Amino acid sequence: MSETNARTTNLLRGAMAIGAVGVVAAYFQTGLERFWANWLLWFVLFFTVGLGSLFIVALEHLVGAKWSVPIRRIPERVATLLIPTVPIGLIALGALRVLYPGTRPEALQNKVLAGKAFWLGIPFFSARAIVCFALSLLALSIFVGGSLKQDKTRDPAFNVRARKFAPAFMALFALVITLVAFDWVSGLTPEWYSDIFGVYLFAGAFLAGLAATTLAVVGLQAQGRLDGVRGDHRYNLGGFMFAFTVFWSYIGFAQYMLMWYANLPDEVIYFKARLDGSWHVVTLVLAVTHFVLPFIALVSQGSKGEPQRLRRVATLMLGAHVLDIYWLIFPVLGRTPLFSWPEVSFALFFLGLGLLWVRGAMEKGEDMPVGDPFLAEGLEFRL
Amino acid sequence: MNSEAAVFRGVIPESLMDPPLTVGHVSPGSLDDQVLAFPERRPPAQWYIGLAITLSALATGLGFIGYTFYTGIGAWGNNSPVFWAFDIINFVFWVGIGHAGTLISAILFLFRKRWRNAIARFAEAMTIFAVMCAVIFPLIHVGRPWLVYWLFPYPNQRALWSNFRSPLLWDVFAVNTYFAVSAMFWYLGLIPDIASMRDRTTSKFRKVLYTALSLGWRGAASHWQHFEKAYLLLAGLATGLVLSVHSVVSFDFATSVVPGWHMTIFPPYFVAGAIFAGFSMVVMVLVVVRESMQLKNLITMAHLDVMNKVILGMSCIMAYSYGMEGFTAWYSQNEYLQHGFMNIISGTYGWAGWLTITCNIFVPQLLWLKTCRTSYFWMILVAVCVTVGMWFERFVIIVISLHQDYLPSSWHIYKPTMVDFGILLGTFGLFFTLVLLFARVLPVIATSEVKAILPGAQPGHGGSHV
Amino acid sequence: MSEKTFAVLGLFESPDALMHAIPKVRDQKLGRLEAYTPYPIHGIDEALGFRRSPLGGMVMIMGVVGAVTALAFQYWISAIDYPIVTGGKPPYSWEAFVPIMFEVTVLFATFTAGLGMLLLLNRLPFFGHPVLTSRAIQGITRDRYALSIEADGMALDAAAARAALAAAGAADVEVLAEPDAVPFLTSDYVMRALGGIFAACVVAGLLMYAAIKVIPVMPPMVHMHEQPRLNPQAPSTFFRDGHGMQQPVAGTVSRGHLPIGAASQEEAALLANPLPRTAEVFAMGRKAFTNRCAVCHGALGTGVGSMTAAYGAKPANLQAQRFRDYADGQIYWVISMGKNAMPSHAADLTETQRWAVVHYVRTLQRAQNAGDQDMNAAGAR
C-alpha cells in the first residue's frame, strides 16, 4: 500500500518538476498574456475547489447535518488547498496589467470603464483580493483548525461555535465568491456584466468541492480507510452531485438564454466569442461533460452510491470544472482555443502541486472527526 | 483507522439537540383519533364565521371580475406605459406563495427531514390553492377573456399556432404543469389517509365516497413499495419543477430589455423570493391551524422555529439579490439602469422601494433571536411584513421599471383603481375559502406519513435518518 | 361466500413483531406472502422477497419521450408548419424551446409515476379485494400490522396457515374466503369504466362546444359581430326619420370648395390672387381655360367660341375695356358664382385652377392689347 503511495508521490513530484520547467519556459517564450491566462486558470481552480470544500463544511454545520459527520474531515482537508492558493493568488496579481483592461491607462478613454476606474484599478483590486484571501484563511482556521483540535480535546463546544459562525461564513462566502467572480473572471471583459455570475461561480465551486470530496472518500475507502462509511453516505454524495450538476446547468443556461433572447450587443459579445469558430466545439464539449454525461451517469437510483461510478463521475466533473474555467478565461486570448505545451506544462505543475498537497492533507488529523459528539449517529445513518 | 477504535459517543450540547418531532405521547391510533376526527364532526362556530368572511371577499372579487369582463380592461389602472400592473403582480405573488408547499413536500422529503411530515399535507394544499389563485390573472387580464383558449396550441381554422418563442407561453406550460404535478402529488399522498377515514366512518354515504376516493387502497406492502418509489420520483421531479416554474415566470421579465428587468440574476432571485413569501404564508396559516384545531403536539413550536430559520435564510438571499442589483446598476455604468435604480429608492414610488427593503430585509432580521422565532406575536409580525413586502417587491419590479423606461416622452404615473384592489381581495377570499374547506373535509396532517416517523414506528435498528 | 380460502391474515401489534414473524412464516412456504400496514415499513420489501419496482425505468423512458415530443412539436410548429421570425429570432430557436421541453418532460414523467403506479403496478382502483371487507382492515389502516398468506395458484391450507401465524406471534388471525365474483375485470367494472369515459367525453365535448361556439357570440362577448355603428343602407334609431343615411348638414362645405369670402361681385374686387405669376400657373390656367372657357369665350377670349351659335346667349368679350378694368377678384367671382347666362364653374374648377384662369385671362388681355412697353420688355431680354 505504501509502495503505491510512494510511487504515486514520486510520479507527482516528477510531473511537477517537468511542469515547472515548462512554466518557466512559457514565461519567456509564449508571451505574457498566455502565461498569465494559464496562471489565472489554475489559481481560480484551486480557489474554487478549496472554497467550495469549505462551503460544504460550513453548510453541514449550518443545517446540523448528522449523516455527513463521518466524512466531514475529507472536505476539511481539501479546503486546506486555500493555503497554497494565497501565494498563487498574490502572484496572480501580476496578471493585472497584462490581462485586465480596466487597469490600463487607456481605460480612461472608455466611458464605461472610466466611470468605474477606481474599482477596476490596481490598488482597490489588490486590496479586495487580499481581503478575500484573508477572510478565506480566517474561515479555514475556524472550521478546519477547530475541527482538528477537537480530535484531541473532544470538546463539543467546537460544534456550538461552528454552528454560530456558519451563518456569518455564508455571508462572507457570498461576498468572496462574488468578488472573485466579478474581479478575476468577468473583470477580463470589464464592459460586460452579468449579475448571476457570482452564483455561477458558486455553483461550479460547490460542485468541484463535492467532486473532490467524493473522489477522496472513494479513494480512501479503496485503501481500506474510512471504514464505517457505507453506501448510504455515498448515495447522498452522489445525490448532491447530481442535484448540483442540474443546478449549475440551470444557472449557466439561464445566463446564456437571457442574453441570447434580448440580443443586446453589449452582452451578446461575450457568448459570441465563445460560439464563433473553434470555440464552438469547446462550448459543446463543456455542455456535454459538465451536464449531459454526469446527468446520465447519476440519474438512476442505483448508480448514486456505487464507488466505481462515483469515482469516474467525480473525475469527469473536476475535469469539466477545469474546462469551465478555461472556457471563461481563454477566449480573451483569441479566436482559437489555445492548447499546447504551455497549457500542458501548467497542468502538470499545478495538478502535481494540488494532488501532492491534498494527499499530504489526507494525513492530517484522523480520517473522521473523532471528537465530534455526532459521529456515532452519523455512522448509523440509513437512507 | 477508526474501525479499530471505539466510536466516540459524545455529550451533545443542548443547543444542538434535535427537538422531538411530536410533543407528548402520540401513537398511530391516537393520531388518527386526533386528526381524522375533524372531518367527521361538525366544525365550531368560528369556522362558519371565517367562511362567511372569506366567501364575502371571494364574492366581491368575482363581482369585480365580472365587471371587468363586461366593461373591459379600462376598468383597471393599466395604461401606457404601465401595461402590466396589479394583474401580473398578483399572478407572480400567488405563484410564489405556492412554492413553499412544494419545497416542504418535495425538497425536504429528498433531504429526509422528518419534521416535514406533519406540515407537508397542509403546505401542499396551500400550493394548489395558491396556484389556482394565480391562474386567474392570466385568464382575466387579456382583452377578450373568452378567447383565452387561443393560448393553447391546438389545430385551428386560423392556421395559426401559439408563439413558442414567447416566455408568456412558457408560463402557460409551466404553471399548468406545476398545478397538475402538485395536484397529483397531493392526491397520491391523500390516498392512504382517505383509506383510514373510509375504515373509520359509520356514515354510509361517506363510506362510499371515501372508498371511491381512496381507490380501494388496502395498505399492501407490495403497493407501498411502488407507492414509495412513485413518491420519491415525484419529489425529485417536483423539486426540478419548483426551480423551473418561478424561473420561467422570471423569464417574463428577464428576457425583455426594460431596464431593471433584464438581469440574469432574476431566475434564482425569484425562486428565493417565492420560497420566502410562501414560507411566511405557511407560518401564518399553521399558527392559526395549530391553535384552532388543537394540533400543538403535532405541529410543534420546533416546526415553527425551523421554518422561521428558513425565512431568515431566504431573507439573506434576498439581501444578496438586492445588493447585486444595486451593484450592477453602478457597475454597468448604464444610465438607464442607474435611473431605474434611483427610482426604486427615490421618486414617486420610492416609498414602495423602501417598504420592500424594510419588510423583506430589515424586519426578518428579528428572526436571528430565538425568542422572536418562537413567539406568536413576532413571527406573525414578520410573516405579515414579508407577505406585504414581497407583494410590494413585485410592484417595485413591474410598476417602477415600466413607468419610466427609455423614452421620457412615454413616462407616466400609474394609479390602481378600486377594481384592481377588489380582485386582489377576491383572490385572498378564494385562497382562504379553499383552506377552510380543506380543513373541514380532509385530514390536514398526513397521518400515514407521521405514523411512519413516530418513535417505534420502524423495526428497531436504532438508525437515524438525518 | 365460496369454500376456497383466499388468504389467511395474522394481525400483529407492532412492526417489530411483524418483521420477526416474516422469516418464520416464509420458511414454511405455505403460499404467497403479503403484508398490510398503515404506513411503509423499512426493510419489509426484502423480507418478503419482492422484486425491485420497475417504476424508475418507466419514468425515465417516458421523461425522455416527453423531452423529444416537446422538442419535435415545437420544432414542427415553429420551423416547418408556419415558420415566422418573431422578435428577430430564427424559426428554429432551440434555446427558446428548452423551458417547455423541461416542463413537458416533468409532466410526462410525473403522470407516468402517478398513473403508472396506480393503474399498472398496483392495479388500483379496485374495490373487490377481500381485505377491504375483512375485520382486519380497520386495524390495518389505523395501527395494526398484518401478515397475509395468500393462495398461490394451488389451494391454501387454511389450518396450517393459521397455525403458522399463531406460532409466529399473531395477536389475531382471520381467514378470508375467495369472493364469488371475478376479482378484477368484472363486466360491471368494465361497463362502469366505459360508461364513465363516455360520459366524460360527452361532457367535455359539450363544454368545448360551449366555450368555442356559444359563449363567444353571447353578449357581452359579442365578438364584435354586433357593433353599435352605422352601416350603409341600414336603418338607424339614432335619427328621427329612422334612416341610417342622411343628407349632409346644411352649409356643409366640400373639400376644395371653401366659400369665396365675398358676398357680391363688388366685394370680390377686394380679393387678392394668391397664386404667383409663374410658368406652371400659366400652364395650369391655359389648360383650364381651354377646357372650360374657350368653348364660349373663344381661344383669345373674344367671345366667339365654338359653342356660341348653338348656345343662344352672347358670351362676354373678355378683351372689352369693361372687362379689362375688372379686378382679379371680380373675374374670380364670375367664374365661381356664374353671371347671367353663364353658369357657376365652381364644381368644375378648384379654387387654385380658377385663380390660375384669372392669370391667364389677364395674360390674354395684355397679349391682345400690347403696348410699346410690352414690346420693349420682350426685346430687352
Q: With residue B51 as reference, give the H or E element that holds it.
A: helix B45-71
CB contacts of A268 in chain B (<8 Å) are: none
Residue B140 in contact with residue B65, Cβ under 8 Å? yes
- Examine the domain organization and report whether C162 and C207 are in the same domain: no
Residue A186 in contact with residue A197, Cβ under 8 Å? yes
pLDDT at B6: 62
- Cα A207–chain centre separation: 8
Nearest one of A209, A198, A182, A277 to A59, comparing CA atoms? A209
> What distance in Å separates the CA atoms of residue A257 and residue B167, rounded to the nearest whole number?
11
Packed helices C279-288 and C351-368: angle between N→C axes, nearest 10 degrees: 90
Q: What is the pLDDT of residues C284-342, one digit of tens each?
A: 999 999 999 998 899 998 888 887 777 777 889 999 999 999 999 999 999 999 998 89
Q: What is the pLDDT of residues B13-68, one digit of tens each?
A: 888 888 888 988 899 999 999 999 889 889 999 999 999 999 999 999 999 999 99
> What distance in Å separates the CA atoms of residue C292 and residue C301, rounded to the nearest whole number?
12
Is B154 within 8 Å of chain C by CB? Answer: no
Residue C24, domain member (yes or no) = yes
Nearest one of A99, A85, A8, A9 to A47, comparing CA atoms? A85
How would DSSP label each residue in B178-218?
HHHHHHHHHHHHHHHHHHHHHHH---HHHHHHHHHHHTT--
CB contact under 8 A, A261 and C89: yes
Nearest one of B26, B133, B220, B51 to B430, comparing CA atoms? B133
Q: What is the pLDDT of residues A241-275, one digit of tens each?
A: 999 999 999 999 999 999 999 999 989 999 999 99
Of B70, B166, B215, nearest to C118 by CB-CB distance is B215
Of A199, A375, A382, nearest to B465 by CB-CB distance is A382
CB contacts of B228 in chain C (<8 Å) are: 40
pLDDT at C309: 73
pLDDT beneath 70, residues of chain C: 1-2, 181-189, 223-224, 226, 256, 377-381
- Examine the domain organization and report whether C212 and C288 are in the same domain: no
CB contact under 8 A, B222 and C50: yes
DSSP code, position A48: H
Place of cell 387579456: B142
CB contacts of B240 in chain A (<8 Å) are: 246
Is A141 within 8 Å of chain C by CB? Answer: no
Q: How far is C13 from chain A (nearest CA, A)?
A: 25
CB contacts of B330 in chain A (<8 Å) are: 116
Cell of A237: 454524495
CB contacts of A59 in chain B (<8 Å) are: none
| Neighbouring residues of B418: CB distance < 8 A, sequence distance ≥ 6 | B64
Cell of A220: 480512501
Whether residue A190 is preceded by a cis peptide bond, meaning omega within 30 degrees of 0, is no
Distances (CA, A) of B213 to B192, B206, B216, B230: 10, 10, 8, 18
CB contacts of A66 in chain B (<8 Å) are: 464, 466
CB contacts of C55 in chain A (<8 Å) are: none
Work out how many domains chain C is built from and give that number.
3
- Examine the domain organization and report whether C30 and C117 are in the same domain: yes
- Examine the domain organization and report whether C140 and C209 are in the same domain: no
**Residues above pLDDT 90, as percent of chain A:** 89
CB contacts of C215 in chain B (<8 Å) are: 146
Of B264, B328, B330, nearest to A254 by CB-CB distance is B264
CB contacts of B12 in chain A (<8 Å) are: 156, 373-374
Q: Determine if residue B260 is left, alpha or beta; phi over 0 gives left, psi from -120 to 50 gives alpha, anything else beta.
A: left
Q: Residue C297's domain is classified under what CATH number?
A: 1.10.760.10
Whether residue B466 is predicted with pLDDT greater than 60 in this model: the reply is no
- Examine the domain organization and report whether C81 and C25 are in the same domain: yes
pLDDT at C256: 67
Per-residue confidence band for B146, with pLDDT thresholds at 50, 70 and 90: confident
Cell of B362: 430589515
> What distance in Å separates the CA atoms of residue C248 and residue A205, rounded to the nearest whole number?
80
CB contacts of A253 in chain C (<8 Å) are: 98
Other C-beta atoms within 10 Å of C140: how many? 26
- Examine the domain organization and report whether C202 and C298 are in the same domain: no
- Examine the domain organization and report whether C299 and C360 are in the same domain: yes
pLDDT at B239: 92
Q: How far is B113 from chain A (nearest CA, A)?
A: 10
> What distance in Å separates the CA atoms of residue A230 and residue A242, rounded to the nearest whole number?
19
- Examine the domain organization and report whether C162 and C310 are in the same domain: no
Packed helices B266-292 and A231-262: angle between N→C axes, nearest 10 degrees: 120
Residue C167, domain member (yes or no) = yes
Residue C376, domain member (yes or no) = no
Residue B280 in contact with residue B382, Cβ under 8 Å? yes
Q: Is B6 exposed, middle or buried (0-12, 13-18, 19+ CB in 10 A)?
A: exposed
Q: How far is B415 from chain A (nearest CA, A)?
A: 29
> What distance in Å separates the CA atoms of residue B278 and residue B284, rounded to the nearest whole number?
10
CB contact under 8 A, C56 and A300: yes
CB contact under 8 A, C95 and A260: yes
Alpha helices in chain C, H assignment, sequence order: 15-27, 44-48, 55-75, 94-115, 137-140, 158-168, 187-209, 265-268, 279-288, 294-297, 308-311, 321-324, 328-337, 351-368, 372-380
- Examine the domain organization and report whether C107 and C25 are in the same domain: yes
Nearest chain B residue to C88 by CA distance is: B165
Spatial strand order in the sheet of C32-36: C32-36, C145-150, C5-12, C172-177
Q: What is the pLDDT of residues A345-381, one digit of tens each?
A: 999 999 999 999 999 999 988 999 999 999 999 998 8
CB contact under 8 A, B230 and C116: yes
> What distance in Å separates the CA atoms of residue C315 and residue C339, rounded to the nearest whole number?
10
* Residue A383: CA count within 13 A, CB half-sphere: 17
CB contact under 8 A, B262 and A264: yes
Q: How far is B441 from chain C (nearest CA, A)?
A: 19
Is B69 within 8 Å of chain C by CB? Answer: yes
Is B194 within 8 Å of chain C by CB? Answer: no
- Examine the domain organization and report whether C24 and C82 are in the same domain: yes
Per-residue confidence band for B183, with pLDDT thresholds at 50, 70 and 90: very high
> What distance in Å separates the CA atoms of residue A181 and residue A202, rounded to the nearest whole number?
9
Cell of A257: 438564454
Helix (H, G, I), strand (E, B) or coil at C174: strand
| Neighbouring residues of C41: CB distance < 8 A, sequence distance ≥ 6 | B221, B224, B458, B459, C15, C18, C19, C35, C145
> What distance in Å separates the CA atoms of residue C342 and residue C360, rounded to the nearest whole number?
19
pTM of the model: 0.86
For chain B, the helix, strand and coil percentages under 3-state DSSP, each to the nearest 5: 70, 0, 25
Residue B457 in contact with residue B448, Cβ under 8 Å? no
Is C98 within 8 Å of chain A by CB? Answer: yes
Residue C77 in contact with residue B164, Cβ under 8 Å? yes
pLDDT at B2: 44
Alpha helices in B332-461, H assignment, sequence order: 335-345, 350-357, 370-373, 376-395, 401-403, 418-441, 447-451
For chain C, the helix, strand and coil percentages under 3-state DSSP, each to the nearest 5: 50, 10, 40
Residue C46, domain member (yes or no) = yes
CB contact under 8 A, A159 and B13: yes
For the segment A92-100, the average pLDDT, to the nearest whole number, is: 93
Is C226 within 8 Å of chain B by CB? Answer: no
Helix (H, G, I), strand (E, B) or coil at B451: helix
> What distance in Å separates the CA atoms of residue A321 and residue A252, rounded to the nearest whole number?
13
Residue C65 lies in domain: 5-177
Residue C315 in contact with residue C300, Cβ under 8 Å? no
Helix (H, G, I), strand (E, B) or coil at C339: strand
The residues facing C35 across adjacent strands are C147
Residue A66 in contact with residue A377, Cβ under 8 Å? yes
Residue C224, domain member (yes or no) = no
CB contacts of B306 in chain A (<8 Å) are: none
Distances (CA, A) of C201 to B141, C194, C196, C198, C208: 30, 11, 9, 5, 10
Of C60, C88, C98, nearest to A263 by CB-CB distance is C88
Q: How far is A247 from chain C (nearest CA, A)?
A: 14
Is A260 within 8 Å of chain C by CB? Answer: yes
Residue C212, domain member (yes or no) = yes
Is A250 within 8 Å of chain C by CB? Answer: no
**What's the Rg (C-alpha) of chain A?**
21
Strand C32-36 relative to strand C172-177: parallel, antiparallel, unpaired? unpaired
Is A258 within 8 Å of chain C by CB? Answer: no
> What distance in Å separates the CA atoms of residue B376 and residue B381, rounded to the nearest whole number?
8
CB contact under 8 A, C95 and A256: yes
Nearest one of A162, A146, A369 to B10, comparing CA atoms? A369
Residue A144 in contact with residue A57, Cβ under 8 Å? yes
CB contact under 8 A, A196 and B264: yes
Place of cell 383597471: B76
Residue C251, domain member (yes or no) = no
Distances (CA, A) of B142 to A378, B69, B148: 55, 10, 7
CB contacts of C143 in chain B (<8 Å) are: 27-29, 32, 451
Is A265 within 8 Å of chain C by CB? Answer: no
What is the amino acid identity at position A211?
A: A
Nearest chain C residue to A300 by CA distance is: C56
Per-residue confidence band for B462, with pLDDT thresholds at 50, 70 and 90: very low
Is C67 within 8 Å of chain B by CB? Answer: no
Q: How far is C240 from chain B (nearest CA, A)?
A: 29
**Residues above pLDDT 70, as percent of chain A:** 99
Q: What are phi and psi of C33, to 5 degrees?
A: -95, 140
Per the prediction, chain A carries an average pLDDT of: 94
CB contact under 8 A, B229 and C53: yes
- Examine the domain organization and report whether C141 and C285 are in the same domain: no
For the segment A201-215, the average pLDDT, to the nearest whole number, is: 97
CB contact under 8 A, B165 and C96: yes
Q: How many residues does chain A have?
A: 383
Distances (CA, A) of C346 to B284, C267, C333, C350: 83, 18, 10, 7
CB contacts of C87 in chain A (<8 Å) are: 261
Is C127 within 8 Å of chain B by CB? Answer: yes
- Examine the domain organization and report whether C163 and C271 are in the same domain: no
Is C154 within 8 Å of chain B by CB? Answer: no
What are the boundaries of each domain within chain A? 2-379
Of C56, C89, C98, nearest to A301 by CB-CB distance is C56
CB contacts of C104 in chain B (<8 Å) are: 173, 177
Cell of B41: 364532526
Q: What is the complex's ipTM, to 2 decimals? A: 0.94
Q: With residue A326 as reference, give the H or E element that holds it.
A: helix A307-329
Residue C225, domain member (yes or no) = no
Interface test with A, best of C95, C97, C102, C103 (most A CBs within 10 A): C95
Cell of A365: 488529523
